[in-house]
Amino acid sequence: MRNHATCVLTRYVAIYDFIKDMQKLEKVTSGLSEHKGYAIIITNDQAYWNPGKKMNPVDKAFHIHNGAEITGTLSWGEEASEGTRKNREADLFLNQSYRPSWRPYLSLDVEKNGEVQV
């Protein structure tokens, strides 16, 4: 179970940082109509592109699965532990609305987590 908790925390950190990068891209491209910013994740962790099963997870605002909407103020749920929020306490804010659209990238010939999506 300890490995599972480590994987979940690593995913929380990665997604928070990814959305923080999206926030930076919005600032850089703001007012520049001829410029666009792109943020891309490549992963073999299905938890990124599949919705979670928990009803009210602490990272709900940061879900980037297919069909999610990422916009406005994004903050941790009230039950998020200090360890989860460590060095990532600040709310994030996105002016635009984003809907992730995950696509298969490649398949690895391995027993577990062989599907890679982008």
Amino acid identity, position 61: A
pLDDT tens-digit map of 3-60: 455 588 889 999 999 999 999 999 999 888 888 889 999 999 999 999 988 888 999 9
Domain carrying residue 80: 2-117
Number of neighbouring beta carbons within 10 Å of residue 61: 19
Segments of the chain assigned E as strands: 70-74, 92-98, 104-107, 115-117
DSSP class of 100: -
Phi, psi of 117 (to 5 degrees): -125, 160
Phi, psi of 74 (to 5 degrees): -115, 120
CA distances for 42 relative to 3, 90, 117, angstroms: 21, 25, 6
Based on the structure, what is the number of domains in the chain?
A: 1
pLDDT at 1 over 50: no
